[in-house]
Structure 1
Amino acid sequence: MGSCDDCPLRGAGGSTSCYLLVPEEGKTNVRLADCLASLQQPNVSPLSGLFLRRVDLRGLVVSNKRIEGADLSGADLRGAVFNRVTLHDCLLNDADFENAVLQDVDFRGAKGLRGLLFYNAIALPIRLPDLDELELPCAYEQKQQWPKAEYVYRILKESYRTHGMNKYSGFCYEREMEMQRRQARGWEWLALTVLWLSCGYGERPERTVVSALLIILGFALAYTNLTLVGSAGDIHRDLAQALYFSVITFSTTGYGDIHPQGWAQVFAASEALVGSFTIALFVFVFCRRMTR
């Protein structure tokens, strides 16, 4: 049991250390009340070695503090207010920050961030570690609570964007949109699914390239069973010629020396429209990524 020389509660009740340091789970609110009130006193900063695992800390208010080496695993921090707080080397696995107000809170030095609950929390802003340290997917997504997961990914997205971490912000935006898709129904679900497959919600230009190649190949296979007329006459079941025709039709450069007849005209017109849209989508997604 570590000593707590800076704490004004040291020695209270004959104890040689503060109750906040005692390695005991589920501490009672009655005994914690005075200890928690002491957190606002300037002579207990930084706060080091607090053991608050699975403790009810609802409504806790902490301002202008640096908390080091604390164990807050599974702590109930719903409705808490943290203002200008740094959490360094702290264990936060499964801590519940729902409905909390987190203003200028620095989580970058924390460890053990698995299962954090942030639904309805107000973050203005917070500093976060790298994504791999957050151990995503978030707890709500694992429980298939899509609206709550969407809210958390939105918080993460805005926090990373505020601090210029655009790669991580983009990933969280993609997860946010995926949570929307899983809630959607009917045409909205279909539209979001197409957006996800074709460009990863605007975050993956490589998907647009793959989609374009698949569209070109698909139409080429269709043309092998339709009527195409070349300079030497009708073209039937010639995949190479059909692929060539599909490429120039997709890229809207014209038909060249091959012309569609009958139903092939409908397919060619459709491919030209899809090609125009896909090329524009690729330009948008690529430029969006490069300019961030």
Structure 2
Amino acid sequence: MAAAYVEEAFWQDAAVDKRQVDGLGAALELRARNGQPMADFQLKNAELAGIDLVNHGGHAGFSLRDADLYRANLQNAHLFALDLRGSSLMKADLRRANLHCADLRDCNLLGILLDGARLDNIIWDRQLLQERKGREQLRGGDSVAAIQLFQEAEETYRNLRLHLEQAGLFEQAGLFFHREMVMRRLQMPRHSGRRLLSWVVDLFSGYGEKPLNVVLFSLGLIGVCGLLYFLVGVRQGDQSLGLAFERGLWANLTDLLDCLYFSVVTFTTLGYGDITPQGLARPIAAFEAFVGSFTMALFVVVFVKKMTR
């Protein structure tokens, strides 16, 4: 069997039960160190516990791209900077493995076991494989297949998030939590109220992971309401503030700035009283004050959640 290790067909033959091969890990290590190609290797159910595929002294890691590692035993494996792009790690056992700086783009990570694994600086996809395929199916009109893929994507994002949180990698965990919630939303009926509400929460705060969204929404609302006050007019004592074509550019610009100031005061519910709404400005001010109080409370929750991690 040792001679078969050097044959390309042995490694790429899915019919060969790799569980029955002794010394498989050592043979794979030797092949990597000799610089031989390791693309499309069929290693389903392979016993590779403790394998060392670290390119010691090299600037780049070894490449094991497009491999099938379904249910492979990779416990305590040393996979620093290993290029696994396009590989299937579905239900692979990577407990206590070192995946530091590994490249896991385009990988199938459904059901992967990562308890105690080192996960810092891994190169992840912005969207996991199942999510991308699900969106392709949705564009092709196959909503049933798309929902199934979105379910798998949600499960995978949740699994990765939990392990990243355990490893203290909260920034990446937060990104995966956001994708998890997006996948859950895409499984809801397209025109349902629940899906709309979920989309609004995502837009405002990124499901609690994007405080900048809250700030941008606040600035946008203040600006829009300020322009509306400028168009419909507000009062400052006995003087009316608003758009007036008969007045000069500088006077209109000054009134616009005063309206923006009033919008800030209304949004923050300070209510100084130096400028007051009139006519159509009143319902606008009431709406802005209501949304503003809610938005500031939301920002505090999101900001504290991010800072306490």
Kindly indicate whether residue 172 of structure 2 is the aligned counterpart of residue 180 of structure 1: no
- Tell me, in whole angstroms, the C-alpha distance in 1 between the residues paired with 2:155 and 2:17: 35
Change in CA separation of 1:101 and 1:165 when aligned onto 2, cut-off 3 Å = same
Change in CA separation of 1:83 and 1:234 when aligned onto 2, cut-off 3 Å = same
- Tell me, in whole angstroms, the C-alpha distance in 2 between the residues paired with 1:220 and 1:33: 70
Equivalent residue, structure 1, for 2:52: 66
1:21-65 deviation per Cα after TM superposition (whole angstroms, max 9, x unaligned)? 434462354485642x4448xxx4994426664344333344344
Q: Secondary structure at the match of 1:257?
A: coil
Number of residue pairs aligned between Structure 1 and Structure 2: 271
Kindly indicate whether residue 239 of structure 2 is the aligned counterpart of residue 228 of structure 1: no
Preserved CA contact (<8 Å) 1:230 1:259: yes
Q: How do residues 71-220 of structure 1 correspond to structure 2 at under 5 angstroms?
A: 72-88=64-80, 90-108=82-100, 110=102, 112-131=103-122, 133-143=123-133, 144=135, 145-184=149-188, 185=190, 186-220=192-226
1:178 positional shift: 2.9
RMSD (Å), alpha carbons = 3.0
- Tell me, in whole angstroms, the C-alpha distance in 1 between the residues paired with 2:50 and 2:109: 21
Preserved CA contact (<8 Å) 1:77 1:96: yes
Preserved CA contact (<8 Å) 2:119 2:167: no
Whichever residue aligns with residue 7 of structure 2, its letter is V
Preserved CA contact (<8 Å) 1:245 1:255: no
Preserved CA contact (<8 Å) 2:38 2:64: yes
1:87-131 deviation per Cα after TM superposition (whole angstroms, max 9, x unaligned)? 245442211122334322222254x53311011333324322425
Q: Secondary structure at the match of 1:254?
A: coil
Equivalent residue, structure 2, for 1:6: none
Preserved CA contact (<8 Å) 2:101 2:121: no
1:280 positional shift: 1.4
- Tell me, in whole angstroms, the C-alpha distance in 1 between the residues paired with 2:15 and 2:225: 69
Equivalent residue, structure 2, for 1:254: 271
- Tell me, in whole angstroms, the C-alpha distance in 1 between the residues paired with 2:28 and 2:101: 14
Preserved CA contact (<8 Å) 1:96 1:118: yes
Point out the more displaced range, 178-187 or 46-55: 46-55
Unaligned runs of 5+ in 2: 56-61, 136-148, 244-254
Identity %: 31
1:108-161 deviation per Cα after TM superposition (whole angstroms, max 9, x unaligned)? 254x53311011333324322425x23433222332243333333223322322
Point out the more displaced range, 190-199 or 271-280: 190-199
- Tell me, in whole angstroms, the C-alpha distance in 2 between the residues paired with 1:271 and 1:30: 68
1:247 positional shift: 1.0
Whichever residue aligns with residue 219 of structure 1, its letter is C
Preserved CA contact (<8 Å) 1:219 1:246: yes
Unaligned runs of 5+ in 1: 1-8
Equivalent residue, structure 2, for 1:240: 257
Q: Secondary structure at the match of 1:85?
A: coil
1:276 positional shift: 0.7
- Tell me, in whole angstroms, the C-alpha distance in 2 between the residues paired with 1:60 and 1:30: 10
Q: How do residues 6-85 of structure 1 correspond to structure 2 at under 5 angstroms?
A: 10=2, 15=3, 19-24=4-9, 26-27=12-13, 29-30=15-16, 32=18, 34-35=20-21, 37-39=22-24, 44=26, 47-49=29-31, 53-68=39-54, 72-85=64-77
Preserved CA contact (<8 Å) 1:160 1:166: yes
- Tell me, in whole angstroms, the C-alpha distance in 2 between the residues paired with 1:156 and 1:278: 30
Greater fraction of residues in strand: 1
- Tell me, in whole angstroms, the C-alpha distance in 1 between the residues paired with 2:81 and 2:296: 48
Change in CA separation of 1:106 and 1:76 when aligned onto 2, cut-off 3 Å = same
